[in-house]
Amino acid sequence: MWAFINKLRSPKWFYAISARLQPVFWVAAAVLLLVGSVWGLAFAPADYQQGNSFRIIYVHVPAAFLAQSIFVSMAVAGLVYMVWKIKIADMAAAMMAPLGAAMTFVSLFSGAVWGVPTWGTWWMWDARLTSMLILLFLYLGVIALRGAFTSRDSASRAASVLAMVGVINIPIIKYSVDWWYTLHQPATFTITGRAAMPMEMWAPLLIMVLGFYSFFIALTLMRTRSEILRRESNKRWVRELIGEER
């Protein structure tokens, strides 16, 4: 176990193993997103109340899931970095933040666009909407904080702390629809209990969610590999590798 953890600490080992994992996740993301999009846009039945506007769910829900999962991943990576000084964790956290911010934006934007035909408004200071907006600001805060230090170590520690503190917003987002039931509907998927929609509707949603997660993993692997080269550019193994890499 410790041998494995020690391997995990080594950027060189991570660089090698991620080279093999990365294509798997890119292919999975491409296939899942393609199948999920065609199914969700053209084959899933229209909602009996919302008509075809409900097809926004297939980008809205996966983006919102990812927005929250990425923040939790960033907080966990921050903890791992602070406690065990594992640099890879910090590199991955740094590379995840912009995607998390983008996904938060996508969920807010698609939700606003969906709100117009469904609620008659694109924005309300509803608890779920507001806590998602706070998540966007937290992401921007983490990104800005990382850029605000000349010392990389200080930047990494500050960003880690903000991610670990900010993660308190995640349970608030999750339970906001139950605690303050105002506008946003409760969760579509629950681990316990039956799905609130027929299989022809939730199957493409599940595929899209898996596609978004694969995309996140593939992109984080790819960008973390770049970050390793950037930060470890004085190491002998990186210099030897540079000549061969494309």
**Where does this chain bind another protein (CB under 8 A)?**
33, 37, 41-46, 51-53, 55-56, 59-60, 63, 98-99, 102, 105-106, 109-110, 113-114, 116-117, 215, 219, 222-223, 225-226, 229-230, 233-236, 238-240, 242-243, 245-246
For residue 155, give every residue at least 6 positions away whose Cβ sits within 8 Å of its Cβ, in sequence order, or none.
Answer: 145, 146, 147, 148, 149
Helix (H) or strand (E) holding 167: none
**Among residues 98 and 175, whose Cβ is nearest to another protein?**
98
- Minimal distance in Å, beta carbon 67 to another protein? 12
Structure tokens at 170: 């995640």
Q: Would you list the DSSP string of 27-55?
A: HHHHHHHHHHHHIIIIISPPBTTTBGGGG
Least distance (Å) from another protein to the CB of residue 36? 12
The residue type found at 86 is I
Residue nearer to another protein on the CB measure, 112 or 164: 112
- The distance of closest approach from Cβ of residue 175 to another protein in the complex, given in angstroms and rounded to an integer, is 25
CA distance 161 to 171: 18
Q: How far is the CB of 154 from another protein (least distance, A)?
A: 23
Q: Which is nearer to another protein, 41 or 196 (CB)?
A: 41
Nearest residue (CB) to another protein, 83 versus 116: 116
User: At closest approach, how far in Å is the CB of 113 from another protein?
Assistant: 5
Amino acid at 109: F
- Which residue lies nearer to another protein by CB, 52 or 154? 52
Q: Helix or strand or coil: residue 123?
A: coil
Site of tokens 């807010």:
108
